[in-house]
Amino acid sequence: MTTRVFSGARPTGRQHIGNYAGAIQNYVKLQAEYDCIYCIADVHALTTLEDTSKLPENIYELALDWLAAGIDPEKSIFFVQSHVPEVLELHTYLSTVTPLSWLLRVPTFKEKVKIQPHNVNYGLVGYPVLMTADIILYKAEVVPVGEDQLPHLELTREIVRRFNSVFSPTFPEPEAKLTTFPLIVGLDGKEKMSKQLGNDIEIALSPEETIARVMTATTDPARRYRNDPGHPEVCNIYRLHHYFNPGQTNTIAEQCHTAKIGCVECKRLLAEKINAMLALFRERRAVLATKPKYVADVLTEGAERARVIARKTLGEVKLKMKLI
Ligand code: TRP
Ligand code: SF4
């Protein structure tokens, strides 16, 4: 049997070029080698949402992004988490073998307590248990994630070890596979690109909107006038050129140092490269956006396929736990 990959993302809003260059491209590539299952984690999204009115739209937009990027429903199982309710049942069983102390020390939980002190809900505590259920319901062995998810994966492994030792070996210990991509900096150059920080470039923007967005970026603060020599090493536009325009970085550095190129021109060049890289994606996305029924069918069919595997695992778990 081919090694199984599982990954998911919360539908929290529009994806940006950092997500595209990192996670999404990686998911697409893995399809060639592995048996992949990709999930839109709507139940996880509920843990941080007080207003759920945008959830359906966000799920649909994320589905469009992933399908347009090349997640292939012929190759992979692609579905929405809540369409496979078996995961919630497994989550409850797993919660009984997970010490509360393990969950309270998870760094993301502590962060969430700080960010939303008025909404420290039970679901936040169980977040990594639900992630574990996501992964092991399909006995996945490889989990492509960003660095921020590593503590969750560590906990998943601990829960698996505990389950296997209490009830006999049942699940493989899944391994995190770090998405290998350069850190995509935000337009402010200070942080990583993030929707929450408002320093991102959404992938679904039009080419014109992309240019306008890139123009808002900060550059080398020492370059106040067009003729000031620049310092590309401190400029985030330059860092973005590394990813989107790798063939021209040396030329740009030289032209920036000698003030042969101005920041406006340099940004325009970057925006054009981003637009070129995303052209095919955007075209496919626009076509998919005219076929909402197709997108819905893909997700329905994905959930059906996922449920076949899920029911089997759940039967095994219940047997081991003496529930049947
Ligand atoms: N928690 C992940 C994130 O916020 C999303 C996710 C949900 C996930 N279930 C998963 C990732 C299972 C990997 C495996 O990015
Ligand atoms: Fe940055 Fe380009 Fe301006 Fe140099 S010319 S400071 S690399 S935007």
273-320 pLDDT tens trace: 999 999 999 999 999 999 999 999 999 999 999 999 999 999 999 999
User: Is the CB of 140 within 6 Å of ligand 1?
Assistant: no
Both tokens assigned to 252: 């740009």
Pairwise CA distance, residues 157 & 176, whole Å: 10
**What are the pLDDT digits (tens) for 213-227?**
999 999 999 998 999
| Helices and strands (H and E) in the chain: how many | 15, 5
Both tokens assigned to 278: 């995303």
CA-nearest residue for atom 2, ligand 1, is 9
Angle between helices 263-288 and 236-244 (to 10 degrees): 50
User: Is the CB of 8 within 6 Å of ligand 1?
Assistant: yes
Cβ-in-10-Å burial (0-12, 13-18, 19+) of 121 comes to: middle
Task: Name residues whose C-beta falls within 8 Å of residue 107's C-beta, 6 or more positions apart in sequence.
Answer: 151
Q: What spacing in Å lies between the alpha carbon of 201 and ligand 2's midpoint?
A: 18
Pairwise CA distance, residues 322 & 324, whole Å: 5
CA-nearest residue for atom 3, ligand 2, is 263
Query: How much is the pLDDT for 194?
Result: 82
Torsion of CA 41, 46, 47, 49, to 10 degrees: 130
**What are the pLDDT digits (tens) for 107-159?**
999 999 999 999 999 999 999 999 999 999 999 999 999 888 999 999 999 99
What's the DSSP call for residue 24?
I
Q: Which amino acid is at 19?
A: N
